[in-house]
Structure 1
Amino acid sequence: MGVQESYPIDVEAIRADFPILDRMVGGDVETPGEGPGDDTPLCYLDNAATSHTPDQVVDTISDYYRGYNANVHRGIHQLSQEASVAYEEAHDTVADFVGADGREELVFTKNTTESENLVAYAWGLNELGPDDSVVMTEMEHHASLVTWQQIAKKTGAEVRYIRVDEQGYLDMDHAAELIDDSTAMVSVVHVSNTLGTVNPVAELADMAHDHDALIFVDGAQSAPTRPVDVKAMDADFFAFSGHKMCGPTGIGALYGKESILEEMSPYLYGGDMIRRVTYEDATWEDLPWKFEAGTPSIAQGIAFAAAVDYLEDIGMDAVQAHEELLAEYAYDRLTEFDDVTVYGPPGDDRGGLVAFNLGSVHAHDLSSIVNEHGVAIRAGDHCTQPLHDKLGAAASARASFYIYNTREEIDLLIDALEDARDLFA
């Protein structure tokens, strides 16, 4: 595959929307962007941790603060009304992005982790007991694994884990054994942030529903990179984060079926989520506001919708095609080397990331060396410590791609790895 071949999207035009990609790096981190040693072009391959933010989204945040900064749902004055309309319409935009029926099914949270905790505490503490089980997978992010693990300890519920096979796929026969009449919740990552595995969430949803269980889908790595239809997958809950999909930090979303959210108690209490308060009791506001206590992340929520608009202008089918092209190219380049171990499925059957190790070089050392070449990758356990234990790896390096990345940047990573090999030879 030649590096001059065309892409499914106009990468050059997209890169122009992200000024940070023109940065030079290598200088003093105490004065970011100004260090005297900043002389190496940035090659950013850490998108599974956080993506960059285009000018269009940054401008949306600026427009809010410069033009109609006010609290929502609390004022009759014009600025408050303008902010309220924009914030509420942002829910509509994000809800439509994942195929929800409307804003009633879309709660803004801080991130995927908070969405997991919202469901675990607002639903799990009330619904789980010693006779129940929660089924997860061995590739779960700590946001899911730790949260349900701790809720299980509080409620006496059993936690079960679906096996991951040697190629990085779920053992679906094992899933069918674990998901039974005791199962109350199945919590599964849609796209693994370590293996790149794309899990069959619709099939798992069918298994869960056959036993009257619910399914929570962690979409942190899928919503940014591929079309999502929560109705088609029949998810009861689906969570994702703005900062991984061209949006700002501090904003995420929880989709939940309206009938389930209606029955759940609030997770946080305070202002804006109430309808009526007396000294003796309180009643709750309509969905989704009953789950959004206090002053919300208004600018971030409005900008989240702007990020969704940006991605939809590109087209999520095209975004997915670009991700898969880069993932396959990176997999092929990395597996050219006998001393590189790549984790997860083959290159033509994975999401847009590749976790790997180079011989006996620790992932942190590897990341430090490639950083000297301007290449930004992730190193560590990627919030999947139990999975790394299963893989027999203390840590791994991870390159992850997005709409502005190119094959040439993957070639830069390969060149940097060759220098690392020579250094540690």
Structure 2
Amino acid sequence: MGELNASVPVPASGGWVRRLLAFAGPGYMVAVGYMDPGNWATDIAGGSQFGYMLLSVILLSNLMAIVLQALAARLGIATGLDLAQACRAHYSAPVRMGLWFVCELAIIACDLAEVIGTAIALKLLFDIPLLWGTILCAADVFLILLLMRRGFRWLEAFIVALLVLIFACFAAQMVMSQPPLAAVLQGFIPQTEVVTNPAALYLAIGIIGATVMPHNLYLHSSIVQTRNYPRTEAGKKSGLRWAVTDSTIALTLALFINAAILITAAAVFNAAGRTDVADIEKAHELLSPMIGVGIASTLFAIALLASGMNSTVTATLAGQIVMEGFLQLRIPAWARRLITRAIAIIPVVIVTMLYGERGTAQLLVLSQVILSMQLPFAVIPLVRFVTDRSKMGSLVAGRALAILAWGIAAVIVILNIKLLLDVVQSWL
């Protein structure tokens, strides 16, 4: 990704709208990971089973994401290194190889969710069997190559266009479902049942894993450097302000979309007593009949396909950044994409053949829990770096931000330990 550094021009003067538009893009590419098919699975299951209760988890995880992505942007702008490069420079060979391996697992888990989501969307829209749709997902590499050849801004424009489409689809569905406003607002207030109920906690951690993606931290710390801001102290501070503004606006959009998915599931399924709707296909099948609007299910499938295509692009970039940063190994984008996608496709094909569509739905939620379990291995190094004045200089995180960042890291670790203990106890 080094060839893309400072490749996007930024105006030295002009109004704030013009400068914001120049910096807009990286935040939206990162936001894609916060509304991928994995989010759909956990949000639908959460809304169907527990109504609006897990809206508080979506809000919490999104606020955590805003802080963590701002830290990733801070690291990239202050040091000129992405998170993978910083890990390589700081840690010993065994530690950095372990971090690289864990991050690759996270990317594969994310890619697995995208494969399942895209294959389901192809089946819903074009009646392509799930197995064949899974295999067709490997062809998306050609789309990425075409966009990359046209330049980074073309890639960003493609991402933003699909995000707008997803936003429009879910805004319409939420209006159709007519959720009660009081119940929605109450759902944003945290409840103890989220932690005390093992089923709710499992989905809550899945939502956190689906929202705060480990590889997004690596991605954001790299692509913020595509802007051609002055690499002076003043230029870096200005660049950081615009980069954080960009990511905060984009992640607010992601919050709306995730909340809209869960609210729709709660208003349509949970309110009617259908707490068994835990997978995307079942939700698509029941949405139009239960809402009473024929186009609702079609909008749902269109948004799902757009989500899968978007996530494909960002996961590929993240994989390239991680491999180059940790290993200093550069392979063609198409080769990297095919390797990652092949690793993700194999378990989906096996599960589909053995257990059918229900098995893939369970695999989708499991992939998000796996992502959450791997999150500390990205968050802890990131927080450690941005609170180190010798690395960050004048852009080092202040005391209040450092306390908040370490607090977020602690919450993530504690929730994961709680989940592990619950899983072990269920096996005994």
The TM-score bracket by the shorter chain reads under 0.3
TM-score by length of 1: 0.28
TM-score by length of 2: 0.28
Larger radius of gyration: 1
Please identify which structure carries the higher helix content: 2
Structure ranking higher on relative contact order (CA contacts 8 Å, 6+ apart): 2
